[in-house]
Structure 1
Amino acid sequence: MEYCKRFLRVLLVFVLANLALLETLAPPPDWLTLPLLFGLLAYYLWFHIRPRRAKGATHRLRALLGGYELLFVAFFVILAEMAFYPLLLATGALHRAVPALGAAPDWVFLAANLLLFVPLVGALLVNGFFRVLLTSKHLRVVWRVLLLLCWWVPLFNLYLFYRVLKAVRHEYYFELSRLENEAVHAENRDCETRYPIVLVHGIFFRDWQLVNYWGRIPRALTRCGATVFYGGQQSALPVAQSAAELAERLRAVLRETGAEKVNLIAHSKGGLDSRYAITRLGLAPHVASLTTVNTPHRGCIFAEELLRTLPKGVIAWMERRYNGLFRTLGDASPDFLGGVRDLTRENCLCFNRETPDQEGVFYQSVMSTMQKPSSAGFPLNLTWHLVRKYDREANDGLVARSSAEWGHFLGNLSASGRRGVSHGDVVDLMREDIPGFDVREFYIGLVKGLKEKGF
């Protein structure tokens, strides 16, 4: 049924945009001309205002779908026009319909027809462009820029429209499915755990309010009943210092909520910070579970090799630049080199001997891997090669798979095709919907599992 509606939309816009030409080729009865014109104009204006109904969608998704529909119709009207003009020229239909044209070439009349076609179809494109550009959260910057700069380039613009339409359509149906699933989870309070959730970030990031390290995950968990807090440690410190900051934050959460314990979900180095706080800072009685996500429990061999082979001057320059930047961004005492050193294989093996798991705390882990370097952007597309060279196994761009296994291993997260799931994808860092991997649904399932275990 929807295909029939779309065909009708394309047909009506095509007829309006070529009305002068079509009336010349097949003149309607005089009594029908004005009603036909006003009817087509009324539909055209209404189509601009409400391109398509979208039941159960948010305002943003309705606007996004409207933009998709406007671009879709304009795209196929342009394709139809590209077939219509050569047909008229090849058959000589214009000269037969209008003998007064005489020796005037057909293209003159066709060019005059474009004076109506271009503004009518162009208005649909502009409306659709702005709806999509302002409401899409997943359309990549490169496609936005190309769309703005190259929409007028013949043939290439059709390819652009196709790629944008494909991306927007995927986003709409993906998000609509997410809303439906989330509504079920929210109704069942699937993430309403006994103890609050504390999300612990990894190295080189902070818990900023404006840019959430965990992307769309916290909001999804909260909607489904979870009580979510953040670790709050600085971006780069030795594990012992990060753990001390984390322990202080956890005690504050316990005081604020009145809970006896917390559930920790820790990414990357945050998993080591959490283990240190549990075992060596007396937090074991107050932690129900620790879930580590892509944490290098056995270290990163490539980090060890880089520290060994890079010139000391280069390392010192990187440290000064990093520490200066993050001190400006709010860290009290960032320590780039101290944080990186604690991720080497040698230091992690020593850490594991001195930091045994504690009885009464449930430990589990999960990992993801990239299938190819293009699965992620810079710098993970470069470090992926280094991890493969030195660790010699599948990795997420920073951490080797075997290094991430700790406690009960939940398995390796993957996506359909050869996209893979990178170190950043697994915490929704880029807010990207990856075919075959729904990061929000994964965390909802993870927290639901903690709830079912009584945590």
Structure 2
Amino acid sequence: MKKFLLIAAVVLFTAWRPAQADVLVLVHGYLGTAHSWAESGALGRLQQRGYQLVGILGYSPQGVLVQRLQTGTSERPMYAVNLPSQAPVVIQADWLAAMLREVRKRHPDEPINLAAHSAGGIVARMMLVRHGALGVQHLITIATPHFGTGRAIQALEATDSSGMFGFIKSWLVRRYTGDALYATAKISRGLLLDLTPPTPGNLLFWLNQQPHPKIRYTSIMRIGTFYMPGDHMVPPISQDLNRVPALYGRVKTYSMAQGHLLTPQDGDLIGNLLAARKPAAK
């Protein structure tokens, strides 16, 4: 009888215990912001599934800035981050780690899901390698150049003003692209170097060999079709996280006939993936 009462008490406690929050953190890509998810329509699709944007996390000389957008509790709280997207990957990764620590203060017992677009996926992986999981249970990367992109090489070559004719080359490139775009690429040279295809001695070669935390990993690849040209920024094969030596066989990969930018369908797919989540492998 006592054993029956004990089991009944445990079942009753479990049934009435508040459900764990399903925390989602959105990470933008190069030249993006926290608003990129709303502007693309992905945020709206997530909100239709019950996720509520409760805060935006930013950076400052004083540390992490937290902009609260909602008071009270939510079963599916969602945060968007503002990273210094033109900075090298390591700098962005360290800021992302600091922001996740802030999220953990507010949700100490809830697992965190990270959804990262483009270069944001590299930043998220670097954060995991340098700082550990920090409560993250699932990383979803979208159109991320896990094996680099030739576009980074092109931008580096176009803004290289060294050599005898460097000044003339610089003038011609600026005339073609405009001063603003040229200046942006120049400021971003550290990041662009990080996004070049893996070769011994560069960042992606090193990162792809490093042990990653034992969490769930998903990569969403952009592919072309007869009607859709696909991703002109990052080749589909470079977006396949399962090809990374350190993660081979641990990643689920999905393909979408879309371009490089975020779309409303990304919100749908993220929602579906989180709804079908399973316990992470030990």
TM-score (norm 2): 0.65
Matched, 1:220 2:45: yes
Q: Is the 8 A contact 2:44 2:267 kept in 1?
A: no
**How big is the shift at 1:356?**
2.8
**How big is the shift at 1:225?**
2.8
Q: Is the 8 A contact 1:319 1:335 kept in 2?
A: no
What is the CA–CA distance in structure 1 between the aligned matches of 2:136 and 2:103, rounded to whole Å? Answer: 12
Q: Is the 8 A contact 2:33 2:81 kept in 1?
A: no
Matched, 1:422 2:246: no
Larger relative contact order (CA 8 Å, sep ≥ 6): 2
**How big is the shift at 1:309?**
5.8
What is the CA–CA distance in structure 1 between the aligned matches of 2:90 and 2:178, rounded to whole Å? Answer: 19
Q: Structure 1's 244 and 349: CA in aligned 2 closer, same or farther, altered over 3 A?
A: closer
Q: Structure 1's 335 and 262: CA in aligned 2 closer, same or farther, altered over 3 A?
A: farther
Q: Is the 8 A contact 2:117 2:141 kept in 1?
A: yes
- Code of the residue aligned with 2:148 in structure 1: it is G
What is the CA–CA distance in structure 1 between the aligned matches of 2:90 and 2:101, rounded to whole Å? Answer: 17
Q: Is the 8 A contact 1:194 1:454 kept in 2?
A: no
What is the CA–CA distance in structure 2 between the aligned matches of 1:261 and 1:368, rounded to whole Å? Answer: 28
Moved >4 Å (runs of 4+):
211-214, 315-320, 322-326, 452-455
What is the CA–CA distance in structure 2 between the aligned matches of 1:246 and 1:297, rounded to whole Å? Answer: 18
User: Quick check: which one's strand share is greater?
Assistant: 2
- Name the SS of the counterpart of 2:45 in structure 1: helix
What is the CA–CA distance in structure 1 between the aligned matches of 2:189 and 2:32, rounded to whole Å? Answer: 15
- Code of the residue aligned with 1:356 in structure 2: it is P
Matched, 1:370 2:224: yes
Q: Is the 8 A contact 1:397 1:422 kept in 2?
A: yes
**How big is the shift at 1:258?**
3.1
User: Quick check: which one's helix share is greater?
Assistant: 1
Q: Is the 8 A contact 2:223 2:236 kept in 1?
A: yes
Aligned to 1:410: 253
Structure 2, unpaired ranges of 5+ = 1-18, 52-76, 162-166, 243-250
Q: For 1:257, which of 93, 107, 110 is the aligned residue?
A: 107
Aligned to 2:27: 200
**How big is the shift at 1:249?**
1.2
Q: Is the 8 A contact 2:83 2:96 kept in 1?
A: yes
- Name the SS of the counterpart of 2:276 in structure 1: helix
Q: For 1:344, which of 184, 188, 196 is the aligned residue?
A: 196
What is the CA–CA distance in structure 2 between the aligned matches of 1:308 and 1:341, rounded to whole Å? Answer: 11
What is the CA–CA distance in structure 2 between the aligned matches of 1:228 and 1:323, rounded to whole Å? Answer: 35
**How big is the shift at 1:375?**
4.6
Q: Which is higher, the Rg of structure 1 or of structure 2?
A: 1
Q: Structure 1's 309 and 439: CA in aligned 2 closer, same or farther, altered over 3 A?
A: closer
**How big is the shift at 1:405?**
1.0
Q: Is the 8 A contact 1:297 1:348 kept in 2?
A: no
**How big is the shift at 1:322?**
5.1
TM-score (norm 1): 0.42
What is the CA–CA distance in structure 1 between the aligned matches of 2:223 and 2:27, rounded to whole Å? Answer: 20
TM-align CA RMSD: 3.4
